[in-house]
């Protein structure tokens, strides 16, 4: 028999965005459920697990157990092999996502949310223009507000009228794995760019400890063919970490486009990868998801009062997101757009040569951005507008 249960707020997907949303809504006193299709939040891990310490601690109560490795330097390798060292900028870490995602879901439970695992939402509908109905194989949830945090594919959002189709130049097709090798630099995250390594994207080695790393690459959809990410990844590992022991290969997509507008439709809110809240250059989305989830959950909780739901106040979530990260994401989109359409390997080599002459502590996002744009006056004008 299919059970029907009622909640103030239903959250779909227990990734960082969904668990933070469930936690903040439950902590604000609402009756919340968190629906996860897998039998364990955070597993299987589909992530490079890299994040800046500041971003992590700003948006979550990070615990020491979440951190697999503290990173002291980063480096970029250009197509001709020039190494640009980037040190003394924001300290980074490589996370244990399985642990972090599990803890975030448990925090939501401790705050009072009900977690249903093995509960894939098959369909969401609005009942007579009012409440929402989430249908899972073994239960049906009725709620006043629904927060959609079902990741990059976000099938559920389509039920409520959003178009979540990604154009092929708005997605990076990734292949990734874990590698053990004595050749891994345990303190440094290394990024490799170039058309033969990862066309329209980059390859990465993120150390998880001595002799172990997450290794992967992303290829822009327009430059990808079936099987290419896995094929290039194996070539990359054999070249950079020869003799390394390669774990299971996985594939996944990273959206590299602007966030979906609107983020709110009546009582439905989109958060995290489902909303395309990702940095378009790095593909990093964990910190955006933590912030978006936390903010959406609180705004949703505040919208519910004794007289009912103030649906129009839910748009505050979009305003807060835009204020905090709108411009940053817009800059990353502009840079991605430029890199995609106006650069080639020779250009990347020139940038690397220029940057190696700078003191590494002076190499910041802005420096890279302005170096990139300096040869293109019209685009430089656009860059100043974005950074103004
Ligand atoms: C290869 C790769 C490497 C990455 N590396 C990094 C990195 O190093 N640093 C970084 O910051 N970001 C990285 N990202 C991006 C980062 O993983 C995402 O931005 C982040 O996980 C988004 O969180 P989320 O909660 O929105 O979605 P997710 O983490 O994808 O969580 C979505 C959840 O929803 C569940 N779900 C889906 N459909 C349903 C349904 N119908 N019903 C119920 N549950 C459902 C899923 O099982 C999942 O648990 C990477 C992504 C990929 C693919």
> Under a CB-based contact definition with an 8 Å cutoff, are residues 182 and 170 in contact?
no
User: Look-up: residue for tokens 């990076």?
Assistant: 172
**pLDDT, position 388:** 44
Q: Which atom of ligand 1 is nearest to the CA of 18?
A: 25
Cα 229 versus chain centre, distance: 19
Instruction: Please report, in angstroms and rounded to a whole number, the separation of the first and last CA atoms in the chain.
Output: 59
Cβ 174 under 6 angstroms from ligand 1: yes
Domain 168-255 has CATH 3.40.50.2000: no
Interhelix angle 377-387/327-342, nearest 10 degrees: 160
E strand or H helix at 265: strand 264-265
CA 17 to ligand 1 center in whole angstroms: 8
Which of 200, 206, 151 has its CA nearest to residue 176? 206
Task: Read off the pLDDT of residues 128-167 as tens digits, 9 standing for 90 and up.
Answer: 878 999 999 999 999 999 999 999 999 999 999 999 999 9
Check whether the bond before 242 is cis (ω within 30° of 0): no
Task: Read off the pLDDT of residues 315-356 as tens digits, 9 standing for 90 and up.
Answer: 999 999 999 999 999 999 988 988 888 889 998 898 888 878
- Whether residue 99 is predicted with pLDDT greater than 80 in this model: the reply is yes
Cβ 105 under 6 angstroms from ligand 1: no
**Percentage above 70 pLDDT, the chain:** 91
Phi then psi dihedrals of residue 169, to 5 deg: -95, 15
CA 90 to ligand 1 center in whole angstroms: 23
How far apart CA 93 and CA 66 sit, in angstroms, is 9
Mean pLDDT computed over 7-14: 98
Can you count the helices (H) and strands (E) in the chain? 11, 19
CA 385 to ligand 1 center in whole angstroms: 32
User: Look-up: residue for tokens 């305003």?
Assistant: 319
**pLDDT, position 387:** 47
> Under a CB-based contact definition with an 8 Å cutoff, are residues 352 and 82 in contact?
yes
Cβ 10 under 6 angstroms from ligand 1: no
Cβ 278 under 6 angstroms from ligand 1: yes
Cβ 214 under 6 angstroms from ligand 1: no
Mutate to test the pocket of ligand 1, among 11, 12, 15 (most ligand atoms within 8 A of CB): 15
Q: Which two tokens stand for residue 104?
A: 């975030």
Q: Give, using CA atoms, the residue closest to atom 3 of ligand 1.
A: 47
CA 222 to ligand 1 center in whole angstroms: 22
Q: Which two tokens stand for residue 375?
A: 């040869």
Q: Which two tokens stand for residue 362?
A: 């002076």
> Under a CB-based contact definition with an 8 Å cutoff, are residues 274 and 149 in contact?
yes
Alpha helices in the chain (DSSP H): 16-27, 53-59, 97-110, 155-159, 228-240, 286-303, 315-321, 327-342, 345-356, 365-373, 377-387
Mean pLDDT computed over 12-34: 98
Phi then psi dihedrals of residue 27, to 5 deg: -65, -25
Q: Which two tokens stand for residue 288?
A: 């955006």
Cβ 283 under 6 angstroms from ligand 1: yes
Task: Read off the pLDDT of residues 74-91 as tens digits, 9 standing for 90 and up.
Answer: 999 999 999 988 765 668
Which of 268, 282, 270 has its CA nearest to residue 331? 282
Q: How confident is the model at residue 360 (pLDDT cuts 50, 70, 90)?
A: low
Phi then psi dihedrals of residue 4, to 5 deg: -115, 125
3-state secondary structure of 174: strand
CA 187 to ligand 1 center in whole angstroms: 25
Q: Which two tokens stand for residue 77?
A: 């390798």
How far apart CA 370 and CA 383 sit, in angstroms, is 8
Can you say whether residue 128 is alpha, beta or left, with left for phi > 0 and alpha for psi between -120 and 50 degrees? Answer: left
**pLDDT, position 251:** 95
Cβ 273 under 6 angstroms from ligand 1: yes
Alpha helices in 269-326 (DSSP H): 286-303, 315-321
Q: Give, using CA atoms, the residue closest to atom 39 of ligand 1.
A: 150
| Bridge partners (DSSP) listed for residue 174 | 218, 252
Q: Which atom of ligand 1 is nearest to the CA of 120?
A: 42
| Bridge partners (DSSP) listed for residue 86 | 74
Q: Which atom of ligand 1 is nearest to the CA of 156?
A: 41
| Bridge partners (DSSP) listed for residue 140 | 4, 135
> What is the model's pTM?
0.94
> Under a CB-based contact definition with an 8 Å cutoff, are residues 222 and 169 in contact?
yes
Which residues make up the CATH 3.50.50.60 domain(s) of the chain?
3-46+98-166+257-325
How far apart CA 229 and CA 245 sit, in angstroms, is 19
| Bridge partners (DSSP) listed for residue 198 | none
DSSP state of 260: P
Architecture of the 3-46+98-166+257-325 domain: 3-Layer(bba) Sandwich (3.50)
């Amino acid at each position: 028999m299919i059970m029907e249960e009622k909640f103030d707020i239903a959250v779909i997907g227990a990734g960082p965005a969904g668990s933070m949303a469930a936690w903040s809504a439950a902590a604000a006193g609402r009756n919340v459920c968190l629906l996860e299709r897998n039998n364990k939040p955070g597993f299987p891990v589909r992530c490079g697990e890299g994040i800046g310490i500041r971003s992590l601690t700003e948006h979550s109560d990070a615990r020491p157990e979440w951190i697999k490795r503290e990173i002291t330097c980063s480096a970029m390798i250009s197509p001709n092999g020039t190494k640009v060292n980037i040190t003394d900028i924001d300290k980074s870490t490589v996370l244990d996502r399985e642990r972090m995602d599990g803890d975030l879901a448990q925090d939501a439970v401790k705050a009072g949310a009900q977690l249903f695992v093995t509960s894939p939402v098959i369909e969401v509908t609005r009942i007579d223009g009012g409440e929402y109905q989430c249908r899972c194989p073994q239960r049906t949830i009725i709620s006043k507000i629904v927060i959609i945090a079902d990741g990059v594919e976000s099938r559920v959002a389509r039920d409520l009228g959003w178009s979540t189709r990604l154009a092929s130049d708005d997605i990076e097709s990734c292949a990734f794995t874990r590698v053990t090798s004595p050749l891994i630099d345990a303190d440094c995250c290394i990024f490799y760019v170039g058309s033969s390594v990862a066309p329209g994207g980059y390859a990465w080695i993120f150390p998880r400890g001595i002799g172990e790393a997450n290794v992967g690459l992303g290829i822009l959809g327009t430059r990808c063919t079936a099987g290419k990410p896995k094929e290039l990844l194996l070539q990359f590992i054999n070249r950079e970490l020869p003799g390394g022991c390669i774990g299971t290969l996985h594939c996944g997509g990273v959206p590299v486009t602007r966030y979906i507008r609107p983020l709110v439709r009546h009582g439905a809110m989109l958060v995290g990868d489902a909303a395309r809240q990702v940095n378009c250059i790095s593909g990093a989305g964990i910190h955006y998801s933590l912030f978006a989830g936390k903010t959406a959950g609180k705004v949703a909780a505040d919208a519910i009062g004794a007289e009912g739901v103030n649906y129009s106040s839910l748009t505050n979530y979009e305003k807060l997101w835009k204020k905090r990260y709108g411009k940053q994401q817009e800059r990353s989109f502009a840079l991605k757009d430029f890199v995609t359409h106006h650069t080639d390997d020779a250009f990347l080599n020139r940038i690397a040569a220029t940057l190696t002459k700078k003191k590494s502590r002076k190499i910041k996002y802005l420096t890279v951005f302005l170096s990139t744009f300096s040869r293109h006056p019209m685009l430089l004008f656009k860059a100043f507008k974005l950074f103004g």
